[in-house]
Structure 1
Protein backbone atom coordinates (compact mmCIF):
# COMPACT_ATOMS: atom_id res chain seq x y z
CA UNK A 1 0.00 0.00 0.00
CA UNK A 2 1.54 3.30 -1.12
CA UNK A 3 1.27 6.26 1.26
CA UNK A 4 -0.04 9.26 -0.70
CA UNK A 5 0.21 12.89 0.39
CA UNK A 6 -1.97 15.40 -1.50
CA UNK A 7 -0.80 19.00 -1.85
CA UNK A 8 -3.45 21.42 -3.16
CA UNK A 9 -5.06 24.77 -2.45
CA UNK A 10 -8.65 23.88 -3.35
CA UNK A 11 -10.92 21.39 -1.58
CA UNK A 12 -12.52 20.44 -4.92
CA UNK A 13 -9.18 19.08 -6.13
CA UNK A 14 -8.83 16.93 -3.03
CA UNK A 15 -12.39 15.65 -3.44
CA UNK A 16 -11.73 14.70 -7.07
CA UNK A 17 -8.54 12.85 -6.19
CA UNK A 18 -10.20 10.97 -3.36
CA UNK A 19 -13.05 10.02 -5.71
CA UNK A 20 -10.52 8.72 -8.24
CA UNK A 21 -8.71 6.63 -5.65
CA UNK A 22 -11.88 4.96 -4.37
CA UNK A 23 -11.82 2.75 -7.44
CA UNK A 24 -8.04 2.31 -7.52
CA UNK A 25 -6.46 -0.12 -5.09
CA UNK A 26 -2.99 0.32 -3.66
CA UNK A 27 -3.07 3.79 -2.09
CA UNK A 28 -3.55 5.13 1.42
CA UNK A 29 -4.12 8.89 1.61
CA UNK A 30 -2.04 9.98 4.61
CA UNK A 31 -3.00 13.62 4.46
CA UNK A 32 -3.91 16.81 2.66
CA UNK A 33 -1.70 19.87 2.88
CA UNK A 34 -2.57 23.39 1.74
CA UNK A 35 -0.02 24.08 -0.97
CA UNK A 36 0.00 27.79 -0.23
CA UNK A 37 2.13 27.00 2.83
CA UNK A 38 5.26 24.95 3.42
CA UNK A 39 4.78 21.19 3.44
CA UNK A 40 8.04 20.43 5.25
CA UNK A 41 6.40 19.30 8.49
CA UNK A 42 3.94 17.02 6.71
CA UNK A 43 6.69 15.42 4.64
CA UNK A 44 8.72 14.57 7.74
CA UNK A 45 5.82 13.38 9.90
CA UNK A 46 3.80 11.39 7.34
CA UNK A 47 6.65 9.86 5.32
CA UNK A 48 4.76 9.57 2.01
CA UNK A 49 5.75 7.18 -0.77
CA UNK A 50 3.99 9.40 -3.31
CA UNK A 51 3.41 13.17 -3.26
CA UNK A 52 0.74 14.50 -5.62
CA UNK A 53 0.98 18.27 -6.07
CA UNK A 54 -1.82 20.25 -7.69
CA UNK A 55 -0.86 23.03 -10.10
CA UNK A 56 -1.65 25.81 -7.62
CA UNK A 57 -3.08 29.18 -8.60
CA UNK A 58 0.39 30.58 -7.94
CA UNK A 59 2.62 28.41 -10.12
CA UNK A 60 5.76 29.41 -8.23
CA UNK A 61 4.26 27.86 -5.11
CA UNK A 62 3.73 24.56 -6.90
CA UNK A 63 7.41 24.56 -7.86
CA UNK A 64 8.37 25.42 -4.27
CA UNK A 65 6.35 22.45 -2.98
CA UNK A 66 8.08 20.13 -5.44
CA UNK A 67 11.50 21.39 -4.34
CA UNK A 68 10.62 20.84 -0.68
CA UNK A 69 9.51 17.30 -1.41
CA UNK A 70 12.68 16.63 -3.40
CA UNK A 71 14.76 17.78 -0.43
CA UNK A 72 12.86 16.13 2.43
CA UNK A 73 11.39 13.04 0.76
CA UNK A 74 14.00 12.06 -1.83
CA UNK A 75 12.72 8.49 -2.06
CA UNK A 76 9.13 9.55 -2.74
CA UNK A 77 7.67 9.79 -6.23
CA UNK A 78 6.64 13.36 -7.04
CA UNK A 79 3.74 13.95 -9.39
CA UNK A 80 2.17 17.20 -10.61
CA UNK A 81 -1.49 17.48 -11.60
CA UNK A 82 -1.90 20.27 -14.17
CA UNK A 83 -3.77 21.54 -17.23
CA UNK A 84 -0.69 23.17 -18.72
CA UNK A 85 1.52 21.20 -21.07
CA UNK A 86 3.75 23.93 -22.51
CA UNK A 87 7.38 22.86 -22.89
CA UNK A 88 8.79 25.73 -20.83
CA UNK A 89 6.46 25.01 -17.91
CA UNK A 90 7.15 21.28 -17.99
CA UNK A 91 10.89 21.97 -18.03
CA UNK A 92 10.50 24.02 -14.83
CA UNK A 93 8.38 21.28 -13.25
CA UNK A 94 10.91 18.53 -13.94
CA UNK A 95 13.79 20.77 -12.89
CA UNK A 96 12.00 21.25 -9.55
CA UNK A 97 12.02 17.49 -9.04
CA UNK A 98 8.78 16.10 -10.47
CA UNK A 99 8.93 12.51 -11.72
CA UNK A 100 5.79 12.79 -13.85
CA UNK A 101 2.96 15.09 -14.89
CA UNK A 102 -0.71 14.09 -14.93
CA UNK A 103 -3.35 15.96 -16.94
CA UNK A 104 -6.39 17.40 -15.19
CA UNK A 105 -8.42 16.70 -18.32
CA UNK A 106 -8.64 13.03 -17.40
CA UNK A 107 -11.83 11.50 -16.02
CA UNK A 108 -11.49 10.82 -12.24
CA UNK A 109 -11.52 7.06 -12.80
CA UNK A 110 -8.80 7.38 -15.44
CA UNK A 111 -6.81 9.61 -13.11
CA UNK A 112 -6.70 6.89 -10.48
CA UNK A 113 -5.64 4.25 -12.99
CA UNK A 114 -2.98 6.49 -14.53
CA UNK A 115 -1.63 7.41 -11.09
CA UNK A 116 -1.22 3.72 -10.33
CA UNK A 117 0.61 3.10 -13.62
CA UNK A 118 2.93 6.06 -13.05
CA UNK A 119 3.82 4.79 -9.59
CA UNK A 120 4.55 1.38 -11.10
CA UNK A 121 7.08 3.02 -13.37
CA UNK A 122 5.15 3.04 -16.65
CA UNK A 123 6.12 6.63 -17.46
CA UNK A 124 8.93 8.32 -19.32
CA UNK A 125 11.61 9.79 -17.07
CA UNK A 126 12.72 13.25 -18.07
CA UNK A 127 16.26 12.09 -18.84
CA UNK A 128 15.45 8.89 -20.69
CA UNK A 129 15.27 8.35 -24.43
CA UNK A 130 11.66 8.25 -25.69
CA UNK A 131 12.60 5.48 -28.12
CA UNK A 132 14.06 3.28 -25.37
CA UNK A 133 11.26 3.92 -22.92
CA UNK A 134 8.57 3.37 -25.52
CA UNK A 135 10.06 -0.03 -26.16
CA UNK A 136 10.61 -0.94 -22.50
CA UNK A 137 7.85 0.79 -20.54
CA UNK A 138 4.97 1.47 -22.94
CA UNK A 139 2.33 -1.20 -22.26
CA UNK A 140 1.10 -1.24 -25.87
CA UNK A 141 1.83 -3.80 -28.55
CA UNK A 142 3.41 -2.56 -31.78
CA UNK A 143 0.05 -2.77 -33.57
CA UNK A 144 -1.77 -0.89 -30.79
CA UNK A 145 0.90 1.80 -30.89
CA UNK A 146 0.62 2.09 -34.68
CA UNK A 147 -3.14 2.56 -34.47
CA UNK A 148 -2.89 5.01 -31.57
CA UNK A 149 -0.43 7.22 -33.45
CA UNK A 150 -2.64 7.25 -36.54
CA UNK A 151 -5.62 8.17 -34.37
CA UNK A 152 -3.58 10.92 -32.70
CA UNK A 153 -2.84 12.33 -36.16
CA UNK A 154 -6.58 12.74 -36.70
CA UNK A 155 -7.35 9.72 -38.87
CA UNK A 156 -10.78 8.10 -38.53
CA UNK A 157 -11.23 4.42 -37.75
CA UNK A 158 -12.17 3.83 -41.38
CA UNK A 159 -9.05 5.56 -42.67
CA UNK A 160 -6.85 3.61 -40.25
CA UNK A 161 -8.48 0.33 -41.27
CA UNK A 162 -7.87 1.01 -44.95
CA UNK A 163 -4.25 2.07 -44.46
CA UNK A 164 -3.43 -1.04 -42.41
CA UNK A 165 -5.59 -3.45 -44.42
CA UNK A 166 -7.70 -4.48 -41.43
CA UNK A 167 -11.38 -4.13 -40.53
CA UNK A 168 -12.82 -1.19 -38.61
CA UNK A 169 -13.84 -3.65 -35.90
CA UNK A 170 -10.19 -4.62 -35.52
CA UNK A 171 -9.23 -0.97 -35.15
CA UNK A 172 -11.93 -0.46 -32.50
CA UNK A 173 -10.74 -3.57 -30.67
CA UNK A 174 -7.15 -2.33 -30.54
CA UNK A 175 -8.22 1.16 -29.45
CA UNK A 176 -10.35 -0.30 -26.66
CA UNK A 177 -7.35 -2.28 -25.40
CA UNK A 178 -5.20 0.84 -25.69
CA UNK A 179 -7.59 2.94 -23.56
CA UNK A 180 -7.63 0.23 -20.90
CA UNK A 181 -3.86 -0.16 -20.79
CA UNK A 182 -3.18 3.59 -20.66
CA UNK A 183 -5.93 4.26 -18.13
CA UNK A 184 -7.70 6.78 -20.35
CA UNK A 185 -11.37 7.18 -21.19
CA UNK A 186 -11.39 8.15 -24.84
CA UNK A 187 -9.55 8.96 -28.06
CA UNK A 188 -8.70 12.51 -26.99
CA UNK A 189 -7.05 11.41 -23.75
CA UNK A 190 -5.16 8.64 -25.55
CA UNK A 191 -3.89 11.12 -28.13
CA UNK A 192 -2.75 13.47 -25.37
CA UNK A 193 -0.94 10.57 -23.69
CA UNK A 194 0.87 9.75 -26.93
CA UNK A 195 1.94 13.38 -27.34
CA UNK A 196 3.11 13.87 -23.74
CA UNK A 197 5.09 10.64 -23.73
CA UNK A 198 6.56 11.19 -27.20
CA UNK A 199 5.43 7.75 -28.32
CA UNK A 200 5.80 8.79 -31.93
CA UNK A 201 9.58 8.84 -31.46
CA UNK A 202 9.56 5.04 -31.40
CA UNK A 203 7.26 4.53 -34.34
CA UNK A 204 8.40 1.99 -36.91
CA UNK A 205 6.61 0.80 -40.07
CA UNK A 206 4.56 -2.33 -39.54
CA UNK A 207 4.03 -4.75 -42.34
CA UNK A 208 0.38 -5.31 -43.12
Structure 2
Protein backbone atom coordinates (compact mmCIF):
# COMPACT_ATOMS: atom_id res chain seq x y z
CA UNK A 1 0.00 0.00 0.00
CA UNK A 2 1.19 3.51 -0.76
CA UNK A 3 2.14 5.71 2.14
CA UNK A 4 1.05 9.30 2.53
CA UNK A 5 4.65 10.51 2.55
CA UNK A 6 6.27 8.99 -0.52
CA UNK A 7 9.75 8.82 0.99
CA UNK A 8 8.45 5.90 3.09
CA UNK A 9 7.71 3.97 -0.13
CA UNK A 10 10.88 4.88 -2.00
CA UNK A 11 13.48 4.59 0.76
CA UNK A 12 14.47 1.70 2.97
CA UNK A 13 14.42 3.58 6.25
CA UNK A 14 14.07 0.34 8.23
CA UNK A 15 17.66 0.86 9.44
CA UNK A 16 16.47 3.92 11.33
CA UNK A 17 13.59 2.29 13.22
CA UNK A 18 15.84 0.39 15.70
CA UNK A 19 17.85 3.57 16.26
CA UNK A 20 14.65 5.30 17.39
CA UNK A 21 13.08 2.42 19.32
CA UNK A 22 16.30 1.44 21.14
CA UNK A 23 17.87 4.84 21.79
CA UNK A 24 14.80 7.05 21.67
CA UNK A 25 12.30 7.87 24.40
CA UNK A 26 8.78 6.44 23.95
CA UNK A 27 6.22 9.21 24.34
CA UNK A 28 2.43 9.30 24.20
CA UNK A 29 0.91 12.52 22.86
CA UNK A 30 -2.68 13.46 23.60
CA UNK A 31 -4.96 14.90 20.94
CA UNK A 32 -3.77 18.42 20.04
CA UNK A 33 -0.56 18.12 22.04
CA UNK A 34 2.42 19.74 20.31
CA UNK A 35 5.46 17.83 19.10
CA UNK A 36 6.98 21.14 17.91
CA UNK A 37 5.73 24.72 18.02
CA UNK A 38 6.50 27.46 15.52
CA UNK A 39 9.33 29.65 16.75
CA UNK A 40 11.16 26.88 18.61
CA UNK A 41 14.28 25.10 17.41
CA UNK A 42 13.70 21.36 17.01
CA UNK A 43 15.51 19.18 19.53
CA UNK A 44 13.99 15.85 18.48
CA UNK A 45 13.08 13.76 15.47
CA UNK A 46 10.49 11.05 16.08
CA UNK A 47 9.38 7.72 14.68
CA UNK A 48 5.57 7.45 14.72
CA UNK A 49 4.45 4.12 16.14
CA UNK A 50 0.72 4.94 16.13
CA UNK A 51 -1.52 7.93 15.56
CA UNK A 52 -1.15 10.92 13.26
CA UNK A 53 0.69 14.23 13.46
CA UNK A 54 -0.41 17.34 11.53
CA UNK A 55 1.92 20.10 10.30
CA UNK A 56 0.40 23.60 10.12
CA UNK A 57 1.62 27.13 9.50
CA UNK A 58 0.06 30.57 9.66
CA UNK A 59 -0.13 33.00 6.76
CA UNK A 60 0.31 36.77 7.12
CA UNK A 61 -3.38 37.19 8.04
CA UNK A 62 -3.20 34.58 10.80
CA UNK A 63 -5.04 31.87 8.85
CA UNK A 64 -3.86 28.35 9.59
CA UNK A 65 -2.88 26.08 6.69
CA UNK A 66 -2.31 22.32 6.84
CA UNK A 67 0.99 21.62 5.11
CA UNK A 68 1.72 18.00 6.01
CA UNK A 69 1.04 14.88 8.02
CA UNK A 70 3.04 12.03 9.53
CA UNK A 71 1.42 8.61 9.89
CA UNK A 72 2.47 5.33 11.58
CA UNK A 73 5.86 3.97 10.45
CA UNK A 74 6.87 7.44 9.27
CA UNK A 75 9.05 10.10 10.85
CA UNK A 76 8.03 13.47 12.21
CA UNK A 77 10.29 16.52 12.15
CA UNK A 78 10.55 20.01 10.69
CA UNK A 79 13.42 18.91 8.47
CA UNK A 80 14.28 22.40 7.24
CA UNK A 81 14.67 23.70 10.78
CA UNK A 82 16.55 20.54 11.77
CA UNK A 83 19.20 20.82 9.04
CA UNK A 84 19.53 24.63 9.33
CA UNK A 85 19.37 24.80 13.13
CA UNK A 86 16.76 27.54 12.88
CA UNK A 87 13.39 28.17 14.49
CA UNK A 88 10.48 26.18 13.10
CA UNK A 89 7.86 27.92 10.99
CA UNK A 90 5.38 25.07 11.47
CA UNK A 91 3.45 23.67 14.39
CA UNK A 92 3.38 19.88 14.57
CA UNK A 93 0.59 18.44 16.74
CA UNK A 94 -0.99 15.07 17.39
CA UNK A 95 -4.32 14.70 15.57
CA UNK A 96 -5.38 11.95 17.98
CA UNK A 97 -3.59 10.06 20.73
CA UNK A 98 -0.25 9.20 19.15
CA UNK A 99 2.76 7.20 20.25
CA UNK A 100 6.23 8.05 19.00
CA UNK A 101 9.88 7.47 19.82
CA UNK A 102 11.80 10.72 20.28
CA UNK A 103 15.44 10.77 19.29
CA UNK A 104 17.58 13.84 19.95
CA UNK A 105 18.60 15.54 16.70
CA UNK A 106 22.24 15.19 17.80
CA UNK A 107 21.83 11.37 17.89
CA UNK A 108 20.50 11.30 14.34
CA UNK A 109 23.30 13.57 13.16
CA UNK A 110 25.80 11.24 14.85
CA UNK A 111 24.25 8.32 12.97
CA UNK A 112 24.49 10.16 9.63
CA UNK A 113 28.20 10.73 10.32
CA UNK A 114 28.95 7.24 11.70
CA UNK A 115 29.93 5.67 8.39
CA UNK A 116 29.26 5.39 4.70
CA UNK A 117 25.84 3.70 5.14
CA UNK A 118 24.64 6.45 7.48
CA UNK A 119 25.92 9.15 5.13
CA UNK A 120 24.29 7.48 2.14
CA UNK A 121 20.95 7.15 3.93
CA UNK A 122 21.11 10.76 5.15
CA UNK A 123 21.76 11.94 1.60
CA UNK A 124 18.89 9.81 0.23
CA UNK A 125 16.49 11.19 2.86
CA UNK A 126 17.46 14.75 1.89
CA UNK A 127 17.05 13.94 -1.81
CA UNK A 128 13.62 12.37 -1.30
CA UNK A 129 12.38 15.27 0.82
CA UNK A 130 13.59 17.70 -1.84
CA UNK A 131 11.83 15.67 -4.57
CA UNK A 132 8.58 15.64 -2.58
CA UNK A 133 8.77 19.40 -2.03
CA UNK A 134 9.54 20.03 -5.70
CA UNK A 135 6.67 17.78 -6.82
CA UNK A 136 4.25 19.62 -4.51
CA UNK A 137 5.42 22.97 -5.88
CA UNK A 138 4.89 21.84 -9.48
CA UNK A 139 1.51 20.32 -8.59
CA UNK A 140 0.45 23.63 -7.04
CA UNK A 141 1.06 25.45 -10.31
CA UNK A 142 0.16 22.77 -12.85
CA UNK A 143 -2.73 20.72 -11.46
CA UNK A 144 -6.36 21.51 -10.85
CA UNK A 145 -7.89 21.08 -7.38
CA UNK A 146 -9.65 17.96 -8.67
CA UNK A 147 -6.33 16.48 -9.83
CA UNK A 148 -4.78 17.31 -6.43
CA UNK A 149 -7.65 15.57 -4.67
CA UNK A 150 -7.57 12.49 -6.93
CA UNK A 151 -3.79 12.13 -6.59
CA UNK A 152 -4.05 12.33 -2.82
CA UNK A 153 -6.88 9.79 -2.62
CA UNK A 154 -5.15 7.45 -5.09
CA UNK A 155 -1.96 7.58 -3.05
CA UNK A 156 -3.64 7.19 0.34
CA UNK A 157 -7.22 5.86 -0.05
CA UNK A 158 -7.90 5.75 3.71
CA UNK A 159 -7.11 9.44 4.14
CA UNK A 160 -10.76 10.53 4.02
CA UNK A 161 -11.45 8.26 7.01
CA UNK A 162 -8.71 9.88 9.09
CA UNK A 163 -8.62 13.55 8.06
CA UNK A 164 -11.63 15.91 8.25
CA UNK A 165 -12.79 17.57 5.03
CA UNK A 166 -11.71 21.03 6.25
CA UNK A 167 -8.11 19.84 6.81
CA UNK A 168 -8.02 17.96 3.52
CA UNK A 169 -9.15 21.13 1.75
CA UNK A 170 -6.48 23.17 3.52
CA UNK A 171 -3.80 20.65 2.57
CA UNK A 172 -4.62 20.89 -1.15
CA UNK A 173 -5.10 24.66 -0.95
CA UNK A 174 -8.84 25.00 -1.57
CA UNK A 175 -12.01 25.65 0.43
CA UNK A 176 -14.04 22.84 2.01
CA UNK A 177 -16.83 23.74 -0.42
CA UNK A 178 -14.51 23.03 -3.35
CA UNK A 179 -13.69 19.58 -1.97
CA UNK A 180 -17.42 18.90 -1.46
CA UNK A 181 -18.05 19.96 -5.07
CA UNK A 182 -15.26 17.66 -6.31
CA UNK A 183 -16.69 14.75 -4.30
CA UNK A 184 -20.20 15.33 -5.67
CA UNK A 185 -18.85 15.54 -9.22
CA UNK A 186 -16.87 12.31 -8.83
CA UNK A 187 -19.84 10.58 -7.22
CA UNK A 188 -22.15 11.55 -10.09
CA UNK A 189 -19.53 10.35 -12.62
CA UNK A 190 -19.44 6.94 -10.91
CA UNK A 191 -23.23 6.68 -11.03
CA UNK A 192 -23.31 7.47 -14.77
| TM class by smaller structure | under 0.3
TM-score, L = length of structure 2:
0.23
Q: Specify which structure has the higher proportion of helix.
A: 1
Taking structure 1 as the reference length, the TM-score comes to 0.22
Larger strand proportion, structure 1 or 2?
2
